[in-house]
Amino acid sequence: MEKIIKGKAFVLGNNIDTDQIIPAEHLVYSMTDPEEIKKYGHFAFSGVPASQAGLPQGGVQFIEGENHISEFSIVIGGANFGCGSSREHAPFALQVAGVKAIVAESYARIFFRNSVDGGFLLPYETPVKLNDKIKTGDELEIEVASNILKNVTTGESFNLRALGDILPIIEAGDIFKYARQSGMLA
């Protein structure tokens, strides 16, 4: 896992639910077939209404054209990110699309656990509202060891809540790999 995560921000509002992250109509694709997996990335955030996306004038798509990997690797969200159904497809779709970290005020518990247990991405929490301080397209850096988010575009830095005990799970790749590495499973 990278010690410093660098990438462009994609900014969203509050209450982004799992059907906005990956609409239910796209859950027909296999999560193991290499070609079908790309569809999860391609349709990531395709259910987000314009009112929830902090897009600049003229709009920016999370996924351009027929691509399945986004130019945005860090998502900035508001409160209650990942609410809705308990599908692990949501953090999986974001990982396939190239997202490495989400920074939100708070998470729906099941989305948070699915992100960690599957080793899909880093779900950082912020003690301050950032989706009104960071703009879509800003260049960001997250120093994983110190839990600092730097907006390279503006020069501002923000403290994030420490990942604590979940970091080793994500570093291992998922909860089962972590359990094997730590001797909990044979």
Predicted confidence at residue 48, as pLDDT, reads 85
Residue type, 93: A
Q: Is 125 a member of any domain?
A: yes
The answer for 183, left when phi > 0, alpha when psi is -120 to 50, beta otherwise, is left
pLDDT higher for 12 or 185? 12
Within a domain: 26: yes
pLDDT at 166 over 70: yes
73 neighbors 100 (Cβ within 8 angstroms): yes
Q: How far apart are CA 74 and CA 94, in angstroms?
A: 10
Assess contact for 14 and 78: CB atoms under 8 A. Answer: yes
Query: 53: domain range?
Result: 4-181
pLDDT of residue 57: 46
CATH of the domain at 65: 3.20.19.10
pLDDT category at 106 given cuts 50, 70, 90 is very high
Could you tell me the pTM of the whole model? Answer: 0.93
User: For 15-71, how does the pLDDT look when each residue is reduced to its tens digit (9 = 90+)?
Assistant: 999 999 999 999 999 999 999 999 999 999 988 877 666 555 445 689 989 999 999
Query: Looking at the 3D structure of the chain, how many domains does it have?
Result: 1
Nearest-10 crossing angle of helices 109-117, 89-96: 50
Is residue 173 one of the residues assigned to a domain?
Answer: yes
Q: Assess if residue 119 is contained within a domain.
A: yes
Q: Is residue 186 part of a domain?
A: no
CB 121 within 8 A of CB 91: yes
Answer yes or no: are the C-beta atoms of 149 and 124 closer than 8 Å: yes
